[in-house]
């Protein structure tokens, strides 16, 4: 697989003309790669692309993969940031989410990374699950603060189709997700982290000054990105492409020096919806001027459709930008969908 990904990088090097500022090894369990495989990928990237002098290079990892030995090995690579899938520091939550790691491994993975000299660490935390009481959620947040984690991504528990969790709910072994509790946990999340010096720069993301994720921010600002490997998605500002999810077919195509992807040219409506969706989620807001200049044909309808959100104070207009209010942030997806062109 590593050789196929390396070959895809070579075949697609002309798709990125600018210097690469961020590299993100994610989409699964890249922490399972050995040191030689990781270095091989970086050798390909640095050889085929122009990489900036100070890139942000993130490795996505599960806590149970980050032993002291593994982290010491990773310290010798260009990786300078960890994204650790903690989800919770409590056993009952981890069992509900069917996670492979335990609570102690979650804590240890962060401490091991810090002891090895990694300062730029982000963790994922899930709120609003059936096992996550208000007290447990508060203690989860306090644990993250005590561990001095400088960036946190946090999401409401969602029930995906064809999962053990969905089956347990359908068979009434556990109750449905409580949306009122999820909203309560979200408000506690925002309040706790902002009071402790975090910048709430995107609906689900909080960073201390100097630790806002550059990779994530580029995505929300609509910058092009290149995704390689099975199922990876790419975007160049006009087109979206995605690699096939079938591993054997992906490998076969790349062995023949052929790309294993499909391409969709985005319509005017798609580009407008993308702008609404990603800009409203951020601290940077949705600029009215961009709609006026890029999508003048949608301006009149947009202003009519956003007015109810201004009236009920889930959206505010300030200095030519639309921003979600504290109340509106929990309703972000619904607000954006109400403004889409279909």
SS (H, E, C) 191-250: HHHHHCCCEEEECCEEECCCCCCHHHHHHHCCCCECCCCCCCEEECCCEEEEECCCHHHH
CATH of the domain at 274: 1.10.10
Closest by CA position to 17, among listed 53, 48, 58, 42 = 48
User: The domain containing residue 109 runs over which residues?
Assistant: 17-220
Radius of gyration over every alpha carbon of the chain, rounded to an integer in angstroms: 21
Identify whether residues 147 and 248 lie together within a single domain: no
Q: How far apart are CA 340 and CA 275, in angstroms?
A: 10
Residue 11 counted as domain residue: no
Containing 326, the helix (H) or strand (E) segment is helix 326-329
Q: How far apart are CA 188 and CA 203, in angstroms?
A: 13
Predicted confidence at residue 33, as pLDDT, reads: 85
Residue 190 counted as domain residue: yes
Identify whether residues 49 and 196 lie together within a single domain: yes
Helix (H, G, I), strand (E, B) or coil at 182: helix
Q: What's the gap between Cα 232 and its chain centre? A: 14
Residue 7 counted as domain residue: no
Per-residue pLDDT of the chain (342 residues), as tens digits, is 889 999 999 999 999 888 999 999 987 677 788 999 999 999 999 999 999 999 999 999 999 999 999 999 999 999 999 999 999 999 999 999 989 899 999 999 999 999 999 999 999 999 999 999 999 999 999 999 999 999 999 999 987 787 777 777 788 777 788 899 999 999 999 999 999 999 999 999 999 999 999 998 998 888 899 999 999 999 988 899 999 998 999 999 999 999 989 999 999 999 999 999 999 999 999 999 999 999 999 999 999 999 999 999 999 999 999 999 999 999 999 999 999 998
Predicted confidence at residue 28, as pLDDT, reads: 65
Question: Can you give the pTM of this predicted structure?
Answer: 0.91
Question: Total structural domains in the chain?
Answer: 3
Q: How far apart are CA 295 and CA 272, in angstroms?
A: 7
Predicted confidence at residue 30, as pLDDT, reads: 76
Residue 3 counted as domain residue: no
Identify whether residues 117 and 247 lie together within a single domain: no
Containing 71, the helix (H) or strand (E) segment is helix 68-74
Q: How far apart are CA 222 and CA 231, in angstroms?
A: 20
- Coarse DSSP helix, strand, coil percentages of the chain, rounded to the nearest 5 percent: 45, 20, 35
Phi, psi (degrees; rounded to nearest 5) at 126: -110, 130
Identify whether residues 285 and 255 lie together within a single domain: no
Q: How far apart are CA 194 and CA 200, in angstroms?
A: 7
Predicted confidence at residue 175, as pLDDT, reads: 78
Q: Are strands 121-127 and 321-324 parallel, antiparallel or unpaired?
A: unpaired
Residue 299 counted as domain residue: yes
Identify whether residues 140 and 244 lie together within a single domain: no
Identify whether residues 160 and 213 lie together within a single domain: yes
Paired tokens of 51: 């990489």
Q: How far apart are CA 55 and CA 81, in angstroms?
A: 10
Identify whether residues 188 and 278 lie together within a single domain: no
Query: How many angstroms separate the Cα of 339 from the Cα of each of 89, 186, 318?
Result: 38, 23, 18
Spatial contact of 129 and 175, defined as CB atoms under 8 Å apart: no
């Amino acid at each position: 697989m590593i050789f196929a990904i390396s070959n895809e990088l070579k075949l697609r090097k002309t798709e990125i003309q600018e210097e690469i500022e961020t590299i993100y090894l994610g989409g699964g369990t890249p922490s399972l790669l050995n040191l030689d495989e990781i270095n091989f990928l970086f050798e390909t990237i640095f050889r085929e692309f122009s990489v900036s002098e100070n890139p942000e290079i993130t490795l996505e990892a599960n806590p149970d993969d980050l032993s002291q030995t593994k982290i010491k090995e990773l310290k010798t690579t260009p990786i300078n940031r960890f994204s650790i899938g903690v989800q919770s520091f409590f056993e009952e939550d981890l069992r509900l989410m069917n996670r492979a790691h335990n609570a102690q491994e979650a804590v240890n993975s962060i401490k091991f990374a810090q002891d090895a000299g990694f300062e730029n660490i982000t963790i994922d935390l899930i709120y609003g699950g059936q096992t996550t009481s208000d007290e447990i959620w508060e203690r989860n947040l306090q644990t993250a603060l005590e561990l001095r984690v400088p960036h946190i991504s946090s999401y409401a528990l969602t029930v995906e189709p064809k999962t053990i969790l969905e089956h347990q709910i359908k068979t009434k072994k556990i109750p449905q997700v409580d949306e009122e509790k999820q909203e309560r946990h979200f408000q506690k999340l925002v309040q706790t982290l902002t009071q402790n010096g975090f910048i709430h720069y995107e609906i689900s993301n909080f960073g201390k000054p100097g630790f806002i994720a550059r990779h994530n921010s580029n995505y929300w600002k609509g910058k092009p990105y290149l995704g390689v490997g099975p199922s990876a998605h790419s975007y160049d500002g006009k087109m979206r492409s995605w690699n096939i999810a079938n591993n054997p077919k992906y490998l076969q195509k790349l062995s023949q020096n052929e790309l294993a992807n499909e391409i969709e040219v985005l319509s005017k409506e798609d580009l407008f919806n993308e702008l609404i969706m990603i800009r409203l989620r951020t601290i940077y807001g949705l600029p009215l001027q961009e709609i006026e200049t890029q999508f003048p044909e949608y301006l009149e309808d947009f202003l009519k459709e956003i007015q109810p959100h201004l009236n009920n104070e889930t959206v505010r207009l300030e200095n030519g930008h639309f921003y979600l209010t504290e109340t509106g942030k929990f309703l972000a997806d619904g607000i954006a969908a109400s403004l889409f062109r279909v």
